[in-house]
Structure 1
Amino acid sequence: MAAARQETGAEPATADREIVISRLIDAPRELVFEAFTEVRHLSRWWGPEGFTTTTRSFEFREGGEWVFVLHGPDGTDYSEWIRWLRIVPPERIELLHGESRDDPNAFESVLTFAPDGAATRIVMRTVFPTRELRDEAVEKYRAIEGGRQTLNNLAAYVADLVRKEAES
């Protein structure tokens, strides 16, 4: 019966552990994907408003890692680690994200990049190991607002790239 419910569009079994954030970005999919996959771009927009990023190491390939520090506006540093699990240019990125390589609370995210006319619809679906970890991310770290701000930063950064390209 559960399978029948899923086929009719009912919520997935992970719904209580998920955060889903979507944003329409006024730029071609290939450019949005590039901004998400090249460290020279990522370090310029990654993170919520007021945060900056320092990359320690970066290897964008399946099984590769991005080790970085997010610097909060209050001076707090947050060690971060991402392993790229699956990459399908320019459509999809699957990743594991935690504080470090051995973080038992690391969560998985799937990012999809879909053309929407001349724009790109990016959807970031994050699944936490437990509902409690999801709730903590939402309440303590403001993950939903932070995710929206991060995608807004991406949109602004890509819009600037498009503008500069048009001027040259």
Structure 2
Amino acid sequence: MATTDDGGGAARTTADREVVISREIDAPRELVFEAFTQVRHLSRWWGPEGFTTTTRSFAFRVGGAWDFVMHGPDGTDYQEWITWREIVPPERIELLHGESRDDPNSFESALTFEAAGERTRIIMRTLFPTKELRDEAVEKYHAIEAGEQTLNNLAAYVAELARPGITPDGAAPKGVEG
């Protein structure tokens, strides 16, 4: 297993069928966890740079699903489906991610949220069914860079939420300018 650190606090490790990406985020663990559990938050930061997300349905509970489309900056739409397998607030989320509920190439992800004072270390561990699917995700879809960009988007989003005067829906309260 190889480990690298890009100097910006994001470390990544890769193994035969696995991609592991981590990042320290300047926000409390409960807030970072919340950003993963509510669609109003996810839709604002999910995906790599330049991508947007449209949710078709969302049920954050064990056995529930998030059915969504990621829109690439080149206009390509990516059908996505996540089923939540384990939820331990505010410590851990396990999920199955594919293009649809019955996607034979779905991969498993486990996200851990570690408190580090007022900061949070998030670790996203993704396990693919085969080495070939992992290699395809890394080479064709740039999974490592995309994962790092996604966690960077999360960090920027929760930093905004954590600013004084910002409400949980991301808006400044009436009479307060952001």
Same fold (TM over 0.5): yes
Name the structure 2 match of 1:110: 110
Name the structure 1 match of 2:161: 161
What per-residue deviation string (whole Å, max 9, x for no partner) do you get for residues 112-161 of structure 1? Answer: 00001210000000000000000000000000000000000000000011
What is the rounded CA distance, in whole Å, between the counterparts of 1:116 and 1:131 in structure 2?
33
- Structure 2 letter corresponding to 1:122: I
- In structure 2, the gaps of 5 or more residues are 1-13, 167-171
Instruction: Say yes or no: does 1:98 pair with 2:123.
Output: no
TM-score normalised over the length of structure 1? 0.90
Name the structure 2 match of 1:63: 63
Name the structure 2 match of 1:88: 88
Name the structure 1 match of 2:76: 76
Instruction: Say yes or no: does 1:129 pair with 2:112.
Output: no
**Aligned Cα RMSD in Å?**
1.4
- Structure 2 letter corresponding to 1:107: F
Name the structure 2 match of 1:9: none
Q: How many residues align?
A: 155
What is the rounded CA distance, in whole Å, between the counterparts of 1:38 and 1:62 in structure 2?
14
What is the rounded CA distance, in whole Å, between the counterparts of 2:15 and 2:158 in structure 1?
31
What is the rounded CA distance, in whole Å, between the counterparts of 1:164 and 1:72 in structure 2?
32
What is the rounded CA distance, in whole Å, between the counterparts of 2:118 and 2:38 in structure 1?
22
What is the rounded CA distance, in whole Å, between the counterparts of 1:70 and 1:113 in structure 2?
24
What is the rounded CA distance, in whole Å, between the counterparts of 2:165 and 2:69 in structure 1?
30
1:15, distance to aligned residue in structure 2 (A)? 3.2
Higher helix share: 1
What is the rounded CA distance, in whole Å, between the counterparts of 2:159 and 2:112 in structure 1?
19
Name the structure 1 match of 2:35: 35
TM-score normalised over the length of structure 2? 0.85
List structure 1 segments (4+ residues) > 3 angstroms apart after TM superposition. Answer: 164-168
- Structure 1 letter corresponding to 2:149: Q
What is the rounded CA distance, in whole Å, between the counterparts of 1:163 and 1:51 in structure 2?
24
What is the rounded CA distance, in whole Å, between the counterparts of 1:117 and 1:138 in structure 2?
33
1:165, distance to aligned residue in structure 2 (A)? 3.6
What is the rounded CA distance, in whole Å, between the counterparts of 1:92 and 1:24 in structure 2?
15
What is the rounded CA distance, in whole Å, between the counterparts of 2:164 and 2:108 in structure 1?
34
- Structure 2 letter corresponding to 1:61: R
Name the structure 2 match of 1:8: none
- Structure 2 letter corresponding to 1:104: P
1:164, distance to aligned residue in structure 2 (A)? 4.5
Name the structure 2 match of 1:54: 54
